[in-house]
């Protein structure tokens, strides 16, 4: 890992990037579901955009514990989208006002609900962009994930683009079938893509001889898989890619941008290291290589 520089990030380095016309002071932002109001102070001066946990049309209690388990160089989680629901979220929208462009991540049980949420968000000027969490079960299709097939991905994206034409729309996909889904999303009108969500995983408790947790794997363990997804997709789509999965250092940020990402999100990595340190490391990397952030993305 790159050593921590004396200078703090930004002052001497051009970290700014542009995401569908939204100017970001740095290419880092929180991954959906990994930065809560209680920890907002970590965002200031570090992140280029704000992204709260996925919101659903109605409040969700979430899954019973255990919800997290450790894995080699990573963790498995099954939170169950615990959230207060769209209306409460919108009432408290100003809580997320930290002077950063606000991305809102949404999920729903049905295509029509996705579209309705976008329509509701259209009225909020403070919302800079919307991220569609397509890894949630599609109740109309027997609980199959929306991103299980390119057809449903296209369906959701098209419906949302129609009700929310004026704001950039990011489709967040899982690794399985990512290239086909990415193409489908872009053709249906997605302005950008967020790659990737957690990878389906299982943790077994050998002592109790039972399944301990069925959830999604994230953290450094999945970094090589995410980099592959970003790289392959960047070769077949036009729009910008937000890379997410396994970032825990400034060098990781550089790797994702080199592989084809315009910006990155930090999730599990922010639980074990300060995002500020990652940004400092990334800034040091840019200085050493005499590059500006925007020059790095899609280097190969």
Partner 1 sequence: MTARERFGDHALLRYRWPGQVPEPGQFVMARTSTQSLDPFLPRPLFVHDYEDREMSLFFEIRGRGTLLLAEEGARLLVSGPLGRGFQTDDGELVALLGGGVWVAPLKLLGRSLDREGIVCDTFLEIPATAPEAYAAWISESYPDATLVPTKETSDPSRAVLNRLGDLERYASLFASGPVEMLSAVMRASAGRVSAQIALRERMACANGSCYGCAIPVWGSGERIYARACVEGPVFPAEVLAW
Ligand X SMILES: Cc1cc2nc3c(=O)[nH]c(=O)nc-3n(C[C@H](O)[C@H](O)[C@H](O)COP(=O)(O)OP(=O)(O)OC[C@H]3O[C@@H](n4cnc5c(N)ncnc54)[C@H](O)[C@@H]3O)c2cc1C
Ligand Y SMILES: Cc1cc2nc3c(=O)[nH]c(=O)nc-3n(C[C@H](O)[C@H](O)[C@H](O)COP(=O)(O)O)c2cc1C
User: Contact with ligand Y (CB under 6 A): which of 100, 121, 173, 268?
Assistant: 268
Helix (H, G, I), strand (E, B) or coil at 39: helix
Residue 159: its H or E element: helix 150-163
CB 70 within 8 A of CB 43: no
Q: Which CB sits closer to ligand X, 8 or 36?
A: 36
Q: Mark residues 72-91: x for contact with partner 1 by CB under 8 A, - for none.
A: xxxx-x-x--x---------
Binding residue for ligand X, selected from 70, 91, 92, 97, defined by CB under 6 A: 70
Q: Is 269 near a second copy (CB under 8 A)?
A: no
209 binds a second copy (CB under 8 A): yes
- The distance of closest approach from Cβ of residue 12 to ligand Y in the complex, given in angstroms and rounded to an integer, is 27
One residue of 26, 133, 152, 262 binding ligand Y per CB under 6 A: 133
- Applying CB under 8 A, among 161, 270, 276, 278 the residue interacting with partner 1 is 270
Partner whose binding site includes residue 234, from ligand X, partner 1, ligand Y, none (CB under 5 to 8 Å by kind): none
Q: What are phi and psi of 226, to 5 degrees?
A: -65, -45
Q: Is 88 helix (H, G, I), strand (E, B) or coil?
A: helix
The DSSP-derived string for 233-279 is: HHTT--S-EEEESS--SHHHHHHHHHHT-SEEEESTHHHHS-HHHHH
Place of tokens 């990595």: 269
Nearer to partner 1, 144 or 272 (CB): 272
Q: Which string of x and - marks every residue 190-229 that binds ligand X (by CB under 6 A)? A: -----------------x----------------------
* Of residues 216-245, those binding a second copy (CB under 8 A): 217, 219-225, 227-228, 231
Instruction: List beta partners, residue 68.
Output: 77
Q: Which of 32, 69, 185, 213 binds ligand Y (CB under 6 A)?
A: 32
Q: Rounded to an integer, what distance in angstroms lies between the CA atom of residue 69 and that of residue 83?
A: 21
By CB under 8 A, tell whether 66 contacts partner 1.
Answer: yes
Which of 53, 161, 167, 172 is the binder for partner 1 (CB under 8 A)? 53
With CB under 6 A as the rule, give the number of residues binding ligand X. 2
Buried b (16+ CB within 10 A) or exposed e, 128-152: bbbbbbbbbebeeeeeebbbbbbeb
Residue 88 falls in the annotated catalytic set: no
Task: Give the integer Cα–Cα distance in Å for 21 and 212.
Answer: 44
- Which residues have a catalytic role annotated? 136
């Amino acid at each position: 890992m790159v050593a921590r520089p004396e200078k703090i990030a930004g002052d001497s380095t051009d970290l700014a990037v542009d995401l569908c016309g939204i100017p970001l002071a740095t290419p880092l932002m929180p991954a959906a579901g990994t930065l809560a109001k209680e920890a907002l102070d970590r965002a200031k001066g570090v992140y280029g955009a704000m992204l709260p946990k996925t919101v659903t049309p109605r409040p969700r209690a979430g899954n019973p514990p255990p919800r997290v388990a450790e894995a080699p160089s990573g963790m498995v989680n099954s939170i169950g989208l615990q959230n207060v629901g769209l209306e409460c979220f919108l009432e408290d929208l100003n809580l997320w006002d930290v002077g950063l462009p606000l991305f809102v991540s949404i999920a729903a049980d049905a295509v029509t609900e996705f579209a309705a949420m976008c329509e509701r968000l259209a009225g909020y000027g403070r919302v800079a962009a919307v991220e569609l969490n397509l890894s949630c079960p599609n109740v109309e299709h027997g609980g199959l994930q929306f991103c299980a097939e390119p057809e449903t991905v296209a369906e959701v994206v098209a419906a949302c683009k129609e009700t929310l034409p004026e704001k950039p729309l990011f489709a967040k996909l899982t690794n399985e079938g990512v290239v086909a889904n990415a193409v489908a999303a872009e053709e249906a009108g997605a302005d950008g893509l967020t790659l990737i969500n957690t990878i389906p995983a299982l943790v077994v408790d050998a002592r109790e001889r039972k399944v301990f947790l069925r959830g999604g794997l994230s953290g450094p363990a999945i970094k090589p898989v995410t980099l592959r997804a970003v790289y392959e997709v960047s070769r077949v789509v036009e729009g910008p890619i937000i890379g997410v999965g396994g970032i825990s250092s400034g060098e990781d940020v550089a790797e994702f941008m080199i592989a084809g990402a315009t910006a990155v999100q930090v999730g599990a990595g922010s639980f074990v290291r300060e995002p500020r340190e990652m940004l400092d490391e990334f800034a040091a990397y840019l200085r050493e290589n005499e590059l500006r952030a925007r020059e790095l993305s899609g280097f190969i």
